[in-house]
Chains A and B, each alone.
Chain A
Amino acid sequence: MSSRPALVVTGWGAVSACGWGASPLGRALGAGETAIAPFTRFDHAGYETHVAGQAPDPPAGLEPLRRRRWSWAERFALAAAHEALQEARLPAGLGAARAGVFFGSSTGGMFEAEELYRAWRGRCLDRAPLRPLAAHRVSVPADAVARSLGVTGPVETVSSACASGALAIGLAARALADERVDVALAGGADSLCRITFGGFNALRSVAAEPCRPFRVDRSGLSLGEGAAVLVLEREETARARGAPVLGRLLGTGASGDAHHMTAPHPEGRGATLAVERALAQAGLEPSRVDFINAHGTGTELNDLAEYRALRSVFGERVGTIPLTSTKGSIGHLLGSAGAIEAVATLLAVRDQRLQPTAGDGEVDPDAPVRLVRAAAPAAIRVALSMSLGFGGCNAAVLLGRAEGG
């Protein structure tokens, strides 16, 4: 186990189908509402499924983000980052600070690149517009944030499918622990696009209705879009500048399944390893975990494998730890899922209140988690957020109360 300084969360921001900002996210999660609905981002007439968690247009006050100079993913990222900085009482220019940006993304500005491809397929590109072409890289959201804030420290995009956002948090934590940065913006951004919607439908993984994780009759996932950013600092430097401490990053862990390209290890071995590593880094026993924000996609294989992983870690106690999946409310945000679910988890920890998993139905008896069905006060000292991705990438993030303990 590597010893490392205490890391705290001093700000967060989010964009999701619930709206622009962490507040609408928190309100919807607290009420167990779903924002997954018929979407309009692109024509889906040829599909069997027609719902997703599409973010609304930028509200009044964010008019600059209505301009199409940026891809949707960049707009989400910029909004989330600026909200997080405001929360952290940091200036919008971080050039003088030793700051870094660590992001997860699966597709970057792929939606805009797809639009261009539709128009230019098979044609000479000598007059193809440059702006949407430039958006195709997966690093564009992180780069846009760094550019807008004048960041000169490390700026790194990890694209490890659905584990990306959580892995980015781990990278940020490491940069802080190594004192390569004093302020780390850790997050992710992804937008709906045809490649992922079409691809998951091709895998027959998409539910026709909003997903219902861990239910016995679950029928697949729902895709979503948005972004989330955490501002992370070493506690010492945060306190020294009088920053608000909203929560704690206690530990992170990562692993690979090396089992299958899309299906998780049936016994959840890789996920188990990721959780164990996070606990080891935090110096915590499994008994200290009070709440779990599961990856919980709503697919048959994922939820079962994830339950088995949690059972490996927590033993019989797994059936008593309150567990929720945010994906029933906002969908699966792919590369930014780990980031927005970390924000969701921190909201629960801050408010000491369990968030229900949206949707009805009995819990799968083969995956008998203690699924939260109604909001309720709870003593949450330590919470676990899980992310499991294609290619067998797994990540676990442990978050704690601002007060510690």
Chain B
Amino acid sequence: MTDRSGIFVTGLGTVTAAGVGREALAAQLATGRALVTEVDRSEGYHGAGFPRLAALVPTPDFPRWIPPLEARRMSAPSRFAVVAALGALEDAGRARGEGPDPAMAVSLGTAFGPSAWTQRLLDQILVEGPPAASPVLFTESVANAPAGRVALACRATGPNHTFSQGEASPLLAVARAADELAHGTATRALAGATDEMTPLLHAILHRFGALARTTPGGVEEARPFGAGRDGFLAAEGAAVVVLERAEAVAGRGARPRARLRAWATAFDPTASRVGWGGGSEALAATLSGELGRAGVALDSIDLVISGASGSRAGDRLEAEVLSRLWPAASRPSVVTPKAITGEHGGGFLAAAVLLATGAEATFPAFPLDPDLDVTPVAGAWPGGARRTLVTALASGGGAAWLVLDRVDG
């Protein structure tokens, strides 16, 4: 029997440009400032007019969590994911078990997989010749290497999935983990996302016109729903949530942070391979249908944590979907954390969980696109939402949504 009720978020672990842990990200949200670093241009992929900045994880080493010798055999996305997973378990008050845990599932999303090690392996094959190819690099080049590492670190022997659906990957992974709990194939899950932003990826994203470029003020910034927006801020990192069934939460006296009330996925076939389409009608219909099946009324939602990132076409589609769901006058507040966290890695998922559970934030202010009929929050956001819709529309057509209910006490 499928039981979609009673699935709770009990822990959150993060690795972002703000550092390790939810407190670091919460502090960044409060300031509302993107934390950016110059991307290494020494490989030659960037031209003179290419964007220079990305939200990069400040240090690749996490000795508190991963012994250095072990870390050397792990790609950056694997390290990010393991640290986030262990941090999530700690946040949930769950000790890492001694033996295999067949009731724990792992479900991670990744847009690009371990790109740096894949690139290094390809360099070995193409430049040094096939005999130079490193088996260690190959092992870590597969998209599910991080999920495998998380399973090893957390001794999780439940179902193990890695999803790759662009910007929708994090929410998709959480949705499918929720399904494992709903269907009883797991009683707890580690769900989230991990990605790294390499110089090559950064340059590729710019080649697609995806990245925010320098404003007249000389700043590269993502301006979700903004007038003159021209792309997103690339980011890397990981976020993992612990999901548990109600009986497990009660059984160990844990404090749930939020209830995962509903989840949905869909696709826009009008999208190009790496762009966004115009299929807002079908997307909105799918979402409202799934919310209806879950017993979630649109007017019960009091906050939308939008996946709008500053993409011209992506934000337009997001605005159109929101407009179909709610007329402007009755629409809940809309916040756009990707202006702070950037796109990719787990920053958006982590920010969404924090905001849905009451975190305060400051959102940057900028002129808005008058054609979009969306006015996101600018300035201080005091928190306090009870029911939150989190959205993610991916380039290429994927879409995923979550509904989170705050749990008090």
Contacts and interface: CB of A to CB of B under 8 A. Distances in A.
A390 B114 CA distance: 14
B28 interface: no
Given A2-B184, A139-B396, A147 B207 contact: no
A229 interface: no
Interface in B1-18: 1-2
A126 interface: yes
B165 A139 contact: yes
Contact of A258 (B47, B152, B164, B265): B152
Top 4 closest A-B pairs, CB basis?
A: A391-B148, A199-B138, A256-B160, A155-B267
A129 B154 CA distance: 42
Interface string B106-127: 1000111100001101111111
Given A139-B396, A159-B110, 5 more contacts: A1-B184, A95-B269, A137-B166, A256-B157, A269-B100
A160 B147 contact: yes
B151 interface: yes
B100 A258 contact: yes
A391 B160 contact: yes
27 contacts: A2-B184, A4-B2, A124-B44, A124-B46, A137-B111, A137-B112, A146-B397, A147-B271, A153-B267, A155-B267, A157-B163, A159-B142, A160-B143, A160-B160, A177-B2, A177-B183, A194-B126, A195-B118, A202-B134, A254-B159, A256-B151, A256-B159, A258-B152, A258-B157, A261-B152, A390-B142, A391-B142
B130 A114 contact: no
A199 B132 CA distance: 10
B156 A256 contact: yes
A155 B165 contact: yes
Interface string B244-286: 0000000000000000000001111101011000010011001
A155 B130 contact: no
A191 to B, nearest CB: 15
Interface string A203-227: 1100000000000000000000000
Interface of B: 1-2, 43-47, 49-50, 100, 102, 106, 110-113, 118-119, 121-127, 129-131, 133-135, 137-145, 147-149, 151-152, 154-166, 172, 176, 179, 183-185, 203-204, 206-208, 265-269, 271, 273-274, 279, 282-283, 286, 290, 396-398
A389 B397 contact: no
Most buried by B among A106, A133, A134: A134
A199 B172 contact: no
Interface in A126-147: 126, 128, 130, 133-140, 143-144, 146-147
A391 B146 CA distance: 8
A160 B161 contact: yes
A150 B269 contact: yes
Contact of B125 (A133, A198, A203): A198
B157 A124 contact: no
Given A198-B125, A199-B141, A258-B151, A153 B44 contact: no
B68 to A, nearest CB: 18
B144 A390 contact: yes
A46 B144 CA distance: 28
Interface residues of A, number: 79
B161 A151 contact: no
Given A146-B267, A147-B397, A137 B164 contact: yes
Contacts of A177: 2, 183
A159 B158 contact: no
Nearest to B265: A154
A390 B139 contact: yes
B133 A198 contact: yes
A143 B168 CA distance: 13
A82 B50 CA distance: 41
Contact of A153 (B129, B143, B162, B266): B266
A152 B144 contact: no
B185 A147 contact: no
B121 A199 contact: yes
Interface stretch (A83-91, A115-123, A297-305, A377-385): A115-123
Contact of A393 (B121, B160, B164): B160
Contacts of B159: 254-256
A160 to B, nearest CB: 4
A128 B207 contact: yes
A144 B283 CA distance: 18
A80 B50 CA distance: 40
A149 B49 CA distance: 39
A123 B45 contact: yes
B286 A152 contact: yes
Contacts of B110: 159
A160 B142 CA distance: 8
A151 B156 contact: no
B280 to A, nearest CB: 11
B165 A157 contact: yes
Contacts of B282: 152
Contacts of A183: none
Contacts of A151: 267, 269
Interface in A363-405: 389-393
A2 B125 CA distance: 47
A101 interface: yes
A246 B46 CA distance: 53
B278 to A, nearest CB: 13
Nearest to B147: A391
B165 A393 contact: no
A362 interface: no
B273 A140 contact: yes
Most buried by B among A101, A122, A260: A122
Given A134-B273, A178-B2, A261 B122 contact: no
Given A195-B138, A258-B152, A158 B160 contact: no
A234 B137 CA distance: 43
Contacts of A156: 163, 165, 172, 176, 265, 398
Contacts of B112: 137
Most buried by B among A101, A117, A157, A198: A198
A389 B144 contact: yes
A158 B163 contact: yes
Contacts of A254: 159-161, 185
Interface in A249-292: 254-262, 269-270, 273, 277
A1 B47 CA distance: 57
Contacts of B140: 261
